[in-house]
């Protein structure tokens, strides 16, 4: 458990809580703690789904500009690998990950949310990549994950202008998946996580890997990734359980073991 990031596990769902007052500004220490939390929940077989939550007031307001302002190109060329590394670690969690967004998710904060599989936002949430206003561009995955999520033209609009997007627009362009009252964000994210905690863990991991890996390759290569993942699942207990349950009881009644 880090100073600013902690992991709480209850009934198969892990919550990665961001807690650096006041605005969860993502300094280097916090970035490292997020990466470590991601590795922890990845390795824990008791964790079947993950929620990333910044608290009732704010998700994360971006990177620590004071920490970066005077850095040279030489220094940043090294540190930028670590900057991307913490969102890579979160994106690589082999389980469903839901970002529960209240208040601001800006810059690095939005890049954390983009590394999740799903995003639940409060009605008062504001999302954006305002780095251009600092004379730079997103550096923790924003130019890549944002474009893949909402398309290149919308991503360029957000990155070129640095404007903040309200929750309703974020929903309309596919930047978030659900918008709920601010007070209900965490509960709604947990509700979404509940869908997956009793699911076939190996198949869920395979599905996530196939989709994410397939986005980076041509269609034929993606289909081969899918074929290999699909075939491998016939070595699992859950495949036997799921198909037998379907034959004997009908769909949706299997009780999976996660093996």
pLDDT in tens, the chain (259 residues): 799 999 999 999 999 999 999 999 999 999 999 999 999 999 999 999 999 999 999 999 988 888 888 889 999 888 888 889 999 999 999 999 999 999 999 999 999 999 999 999 999 999 999 999 999 999 999 999 999 999 999 999 999 999 999 999 999 999 999 999 999 999 999 999 999 999 999 999 999 999 999 999 999 999 999 999 999 999 999 999 999 999 999 998 899 998 9
Reference 103, options 37, 172, 53, 177; nearest CA is: 53
pLDDT of amino acid 106: 97
pLDDT of amino acid 36: 97
pLDDT of amino acid 66: 87
Cis (ω within 30 of 0) for the bond into 22? yes
pLDDT of amino acid 144: 96
- How far separated are the first and last CA of the chain, in Å rounded? 28
Write down the domain spans for the chain: 5-197, 201-249
CA distance 166 to 162: 13
Homologous superfamily of domain range 5-197 = 2-enoyl-CoA Hydratase; Chain A, domain 1 (3.90.226.10)
Q: Are 126 and 105 in contact (CB under 8 A)?
A: yes
CA distance 220 to 133: 40
pLDDT of amino acid 99: 98
The pTM (predicted TM-score) of the whole model is: 0.94
Q: Are 7 and 40 in contact (CB under 8 A)?
A: yes
For residue 228, CA distances in Å to 42, 44, 137, 209, 234 come to 22, 25, 37, 11, 11
The secondary structure of 37-102 as a DSSP string is HHHHHHH-TT--EEEEE--SS-SB--B-HHHHTT--HHHHHHHHHHHHHHHHHHHT-SS-EEEEE-
Q: Are 144 and 202 in contact (CB under 8 A)?
A: no
Q: What tokens appear for 119 in the block?
A: 């995003």
In CATH, the number for domain 201-249 is 1.10.12.10
CA distance 79 to 238: 42
Q: Mention every residue, 6+ apart, whose C-beta is less than 8 A from residue 130.
A: 62, 106, 107, 162, 163, 164
How crowded is residue 243: how many other Cβ atoms within 10 Å of its Cβ? 12
Q: What tokens appear for 29 in the block?
A: 């220490």
Of the residues 3, 36, 56, 131, only one is catalytic, namely: 131
Of the residues 111, 224, 226, 249, only one is catalytic, namely: 111
Asked if 131 is an active-site residue, the reply is: yes
């Amino acid at each position: 458990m880090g100073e600013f990031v902690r992991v709480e596990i209850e009934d198969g769902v892990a919550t990665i809580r961001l807690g650096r007052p006041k605005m969860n500004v993502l300094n280097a220490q916090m970035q490292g703690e997020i990466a470590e939390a991601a590795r922890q929940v990845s390795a824990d077989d008791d964790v079947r789904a993950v929620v990333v939550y910044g608290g009732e007031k704010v998700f994360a307001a971006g990177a620590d500009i004071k920490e970066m302002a005077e850095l040279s190109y030489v220094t940043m060329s090294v540190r930028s690998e670590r900057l991307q590394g913490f969102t890579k670690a979160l994106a690589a969690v082999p389980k469903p990950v839901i970002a529960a967004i209240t208040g601001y998710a800006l810059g690095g904060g939005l890049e954390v949310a983009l590394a999740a599989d799903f995003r639940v936002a409060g009605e008062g949430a504001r999302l954006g990549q305002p780095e251009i206003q600092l004379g730079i561009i997103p550096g923790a995955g924003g130019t890549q994950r944002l474009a893949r999520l909402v398309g290149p033209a919308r991503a360029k609009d957000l990155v070129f202008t640095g404007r903040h997007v309200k929750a309703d627009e974020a929903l309309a362009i596919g930047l978030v998946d659900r918008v709920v009252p601010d007070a209900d964000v965490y509960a709604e994210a947990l509700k979404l996580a509940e869908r997956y905690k009793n699911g076939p863990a190996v198949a869920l991991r395979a599905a996530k890997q196939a989709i994410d890996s397939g986005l980076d390759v041509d269609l034929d290569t993606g289909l081969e990734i899918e074929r290999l993942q699909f075939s491998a699942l016939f070595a699992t207990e859950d495949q036997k359980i799921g198909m037998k349950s379907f034959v004997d009881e009908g769909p949706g009644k299997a009780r999976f073991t996660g093996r």
